[in-house]
Chain A
Amino acid sequence: MSGEFSSGMVFAIPLIFIPVIYLLRRWRVGGWLAILLALSTAFLVTRYAPAEPANMFGRALITDALWTNTVALLFLALAGLFTLSLSVPQGWTFYPVGLTVVATVSMALAVPHLGIAALLVEIAVLLTIFVIQGGRLGSVRAAQRFLVMFTLAVPLFLLVARHLDAFHDNFDDPAFVAQIALLSAGGFALWLGIAPLHGWLSAIAREAQPGIAAFAFIVFPTAAIFLMLRLLASSPWLLSVAHTRDVLLWGGALSVLVGGIFASVQISFSPLMGYAVLFDLGTLVMAFGLQNRMGVAAILFGLAGRMVALVLLGNTTAILNHAARAESFAAMRGLGRKFPVATAGLMVGAATLAGAPLTAGFITRWLTVQSLAPLDARFPFLLLIGSLGVTIGYVRGLWALIAPPEKGSAVTILPAMWLNRAVIIILGGVSLWWGLFPEKMLTLAQTLARGVF
């Protein structure tokens, strides 16, 4: 099968079926069709990985192994979140918009031109605004912050792309290179929500439906990290700019610290997920600061692990919030006894994001810590504080979940729970499997990392 056909399918298939899914979005069949579409696209991406570069808009697309694996994981994660929507509706438009967004982001990740990629991601962001708000009246803070942060980054990326295109001869000029590094750093910091620019992360976690929040936390940071890897692969001299390493390491460390501390004092699972994500993104940025192949392997392993963790957290948080008809820990007393699978899934997801041993998250943290310790002994300590903060936050929640239920407390019955249970068990198993037997995934991550550094 030619490369052009197979990579074009990834964008074309969801786009062809989206009108049908849009028309059926209020019925369960629409949800099932969306799940099927996401799963089949993930399968097709891996099955028909293109050997030759395809063309789109007159530009050669990069559909290498890194792209194939990332896009397949994105569609699988989307399918996992769609299963949630069958029992706890996350907004009727989630099915068609979710597919459009992931198809658009997949296209962005294949485009070698950073400016066009940034514009495509921005289009995906603008579509996501509608599912984040989900027709909810009143506060629009989450959608607004998300919109502002991502839009402000686009001009920075367009300038970087313009500089890279137009001034091939100036790369010996340190001032010019520093300018590109600064613009890229600003753009990626806004997109990744690095502290203190994390307003969109915490606002989305607080206001959006948990499934939608998980969706945004999976798709857009993944896109940002992927494009960052691509940029560094094509312009490795960016890492030679003075203080780049310090900026990445300390920027990441600040996010780790802020995420961990704020996570430990939350009183409900939704905002807790936001700060746990901030901690996790901080560790990935620190891994960037390592500037070596081990760091890239840790990042790639981390991307896969965080997708599993976030689908778990999105699913389980939504189920528990919906069952309790409230979000606070206090309102969830005893729910752990009624929803043991969801509670277990929540804890595995949390442990994965926190980087606890025996989970997929631990591998990334371990690889990062091993390389960070020789650089500065404070970094492992900061990672430990952040990780403990996230753990404390979730253990406080667990404490409420397993407490005896209050008399007369009612629990909402959810449809299609068997499917959610199955997804939670499978994903929990995947996280534990990757944590216990990481060799295969780690080998894949290291192979993919060779294509970057």
Chain B
Amino acid sequence: MNIPSLADIFTWLIGIPVEYTTLIFFLTGSILLLAHDWRVSVLALVGQYLTMGAALVYLVKPEIAAAKVLVGLFIGLMLYLSARQAGWRQKLARSAHPLRALMGTSGGAAFPPGRVFRLVVTLLLMVTAISLGQSYPIGDLPNATGIAVYWLALVGLTLLILSENPLKVGQGLLTAITGFELWYTTLEGSLLVVGLWGVVNLLLALAVGYLAIIRGGELEEDF
């Protein structure tokens, strides 16, 4: 089986209509709001960065879109490793038997019982994003991308409000920033700003990972 090159991936990404990228953003954002399991939410965040790359190839140079995707993949990797380390510490701390702690005993349901509230919030946010995108289009962005910008910003801010654990808060910040980036990248031509923004994103993921490890337990939220 041949491993696809970066150019292959981008050729494939360019083939995705911009409306579909917005739908994928709706999906990843909903998962971030609803998922209980950190693995699912980190995967959704990575999916969000890939989708951002797909949306940006229509708007900016493909190299810049590729750089954003690469930064996103690194962020996903950092959060995954941090959460994994924090999760292991939590399990070791809670269990008297280290082997049982490492193997895990919980059912690991991806969607917790309190999800109805979040589901309603998610639907409301979707309606709000669509309505904002249609009422207040953002600059020269395609309408679907404008809706995605509003959606990501709303999801990010909602995660900041609803969550306490650093991993979720970090995902909220990164999501809100992704929404802003989707717009701002089309405005800013300075490579210095784009580069510094990438550094900020990576350091942000590092800081979030550090706080997640420090906080230790409760990577899965009770809601």
Q: Which of B203, B208, B210, B211 contacts A123 (CB 8 A)?
A: B203
- B166 contacts which chain A residues (CB < 8 A)? 140, 144
A57 touches B203 (CB 8 A): no
A133 touches B193 (CB 8 A): no
Chain A: interface size category: 20 to 34
- A154 contacts which chain B residues (CB < 8 A)? 200
B176 touches A152 (CB 8 A): yes
B184 at the interface (CB under 8 A from A): yes
Contact flags A109-126 to B (C-beta < 8 A → 1, else 0): 000000110011011001
For the complex formed, measure the closest distance between the CB of A95 and the CB atoms of chain B, giving whole angstroms: 19
Closest B residue to A151 using CB positions: B173
- B197 contacts which chain A residues (CB < 8 A)? 119
Using a CB-CB cutoff of 8 Å, which residues 151-165 of chain A contact chain B?
151-152, 154-155, 158-159, 162
- A374 contacts which chain B residues (CB < 8 A)? none
For the complex formed, measure the closest distance between the CB of B207 and the CB atoms of chain A, giving whole angstroms: 4
B126 at the interface (CB under 8 A from A): no
Q: Which of A58, A135, A140, A148 contacts B173 (CB 8 A)?
A: A148
Contact flags A348-390 to B (C-beta < 8 A → 1, else 0): 0000000000000000000000000000000000000000000
B214 touches A147 (CB 8 A): no
A126 touches B204 (CB 8 A): yes
A256 at the interface (CB under 8 A from B): no
A126 touches B206 (CB 8 A): yes
Using a CB-CB cutoff of 8 Å, which residues 91-145 of chain B contact chain A?
none
A140 touches B211 (CB 8 A): yes
A158 to B185 alpha-carbon distance, docked (Å): 11
A162 touches B211 (CB 8 A): no
A185 at the interface (CB under 8 A from B): no
- A120 contacts which chain B residues (CB < 8 A)? 196
For the complex formed, measure the closest distance between the CB of A175 and the CB atoms of chain B, giving whole angstroms: 14
For the complex formed, measure the closest distance between the CB of B173 and the CB atoms of chain A, giving whole angstroms: 5
A123 touches B196 (CB 8 A): yes
A130 touches B200 (CB 8 A): no
Contact flags B190-223 to A (C-beta < 8 A → 1, else 0): 0011001101100110111011001110000000
B193 touches A155 (CB 8 A): no
Query: Known: A116-B192, A119-B196, A133-B210. Contact between A155 and B177, CB under 8 A?
Result: yes
Closest B residue to A129 using CB positions: B207
Q: Is the interface of B mostly helix, strand, loop or mixed?
A: helix
Query: Known: A126-B206, A130-B207, A151-B177. Contact between A119 and B214, CB under 8 A?
Result: no
Query: Known: A136-B214, A148-B169. Contact between A116 and B193, CB under 8 A?
Result: yes
Q: Is the interface of A mostly helix, strand, loop or mixed?
A: helix
- B188 contacts which chain A residues (CB < 8 A)? 115, 158, 162
A143 to B216 alpha-carbon distance, docked (Å): 15
- A162 contacts which chain B residues (CB < 8 A)? 184, 187-188
A158 touches B210 (CB 8 A): no
B200 touches A133 (CB 8 A): no
A127 touches B203 (CB 8 A): yes
A23 at the interface (CB under 8 A from B): no
A413 at the interface (CB under 8 A from B): no
A155 touches B184 (CB 8 A): yes
B160 at the interface (CB under 8 A from A): yes
For the complex formed, measure the closest distance between the CB of A119 and the CB atoms of chain B, giving whole angstroms: 4
B74 at the interface (CB under 8 A from A): no
Contact flags A48-65 to B (C-beta < 8 A → 1, else 0): 000000000110000000
Query: Known: A123-B199, A126-B203. Contact between A144 and B177, CB under 8 A?
Result: no
A143 touches B211 (CB 8 A): yes
B180 at the interface (CB under 8 A from A): yes
17 extra interface residue pairs, beta carbon distance < 8 Å, beyond A57-B192, A116-B193, A119-B197: A120-B196, A123-B200, A127-B203, A133-B210, A133-B211, A137-B214, A138-B215, A140-B215, A143-B207, A147-B173, A147-B211, A148-B173, A151-B177, A151-B204, A152-B176, A158-B180, A158-B184
- Could you list which residues of chain B lie within 8 angstroms of chain A, going by C-beta atoms? 160, 166, 169, 173, 176-177, 180, 184, 187-188, 192-193, 196-197, 199-200, 203-204, 206-208, 210-211, 214-216
